[in-house]
Every structure is written in C-alpha cells, then in structure tokens.
Amino acid sequence: MDWAAAAYRARRQIGTRKRTFPEDRSLALIDVFAERGTMTAAELRQHGPADVVATILGHVTTAVHGKGHVPTRNGWYRRDETGTAYVIDAGFAVAWKGARACEGPPIAGAHR
C-alpha cells in the first residue's frame, strides 16, 4: 500500500465538497488518531457523536480503500485484539502526519 498517496487522497477527500461537519473538526480527529496510534470508542467520541465519528472515518476509508468497509487486512485502521480500541496503521499515521506538516499553519480568519 502506498500510504503517502492514500494520506494525500484522504486529505483531499476531507477538503473537497461541502461537508456536514466542518473540515477542521474532521482533520482534528484524524490528526489525534494519527498522533496517538490507538483510541477507544469513547476517545473518538470526544470529537463528536458516534455518527459524526463514523462519517469522518468513512470519508478517509473511501479515499484510501474505495467504497465499502475498511479491509480486515491492510486497512488504514482496525480494531485491536480485544475489540475495545481502534488502531491506526503506522504507515498511514506517518504519511498523514507528513502530509499535514506540509500544509503549514492556517491563516487567521481564512476558511479552507
């Protein structure tokens, strides 16, 4: 899997089209997930209700894997062995953080 290309597609997917949820909210969720590497469902819900979180993760999934569910093998994220937490693929996390670092700081008052 070319995680750099996948991260780029995911970033574009979040930024394109008008979304129900603000872009910065979506990016913040994926940023934290990439930084931590693992998050429980409760930690994910700190970024919004379950349906919001599922939608944001779904946008990334569509960009990375196409329509449908995250593959059980080589998916950009998965459930941990106990089924209590979500684990982001380390390669995708590195690629995501790299892509986001190239964006630079947001301009005050500007909307993406």
* In the predicted structure, residue 110 carries a pLDDT above the cut 80: no
Q: Average pLDDT of 25-31?
A: 94
Q: What's the CA dihedral at 21, 91, 79, 31 to 10 degrees?
A: -30
Q: Which two tokens stand for residue 104?
A: 């630079």
Q: What is the DSSP letter of 70?
A: P
Instruction: Express each pLDDT in 33-68 by its tens digit.
Output: 999 999 999 999 999 999 999 999 999 999 999 998
